Structure 1
Amino acid sequence: MEKVITRINIKQQTTDFQYWQQQTPQKRLETLEQIRREYHQYKYNAQPRLQRVYRACFISHE
């Protein structure tokens, strides 16, 4: 994700909603994923990983 900083007068500022409506769905998802990773790092101080799931299967031998 490329970081871009733009300075504008506060009176000329558009809303965040308008900005995100102009972005492609792919760009929105990429940004959301980046925010999720940063939050996970901040909250848990760990790299996000897949959760382990265990399932017990019982097979009857009739």
Structure 2
Amino acid sequence: MSEGNKNILRKERKSIRIMINMYCGKFHNKEDELCEECSDLLAYAQKRLDFCPWGEDKIR
């Protein structure tokens, strides 16, 4: 597994976190923390990436 492949999942995790933070900040929680629902969604999305069948070998 190359460093470039590791970066793909790292970038995807970061993108998911940013999108959920933006959504939660606009619609649920005006503070810097995620609400419980969005926190659960982030945990779910991260777990899905952990078990992605292509994992680090995913091609962009």
Q: Same fold judged by TM-score > 0.5?
A: no
The structure in which a higher percent of residues are helix is 2
Q: Which has the larger radius of gyration?
A: 1
Give TM class, smaller chain.
0.3 to 0.5
| TM-score, length basis structure 1 | 0.34
User: RCO (CA 8 Å, sep 6+): is it higher in 1 or 2?
Assistant: 2
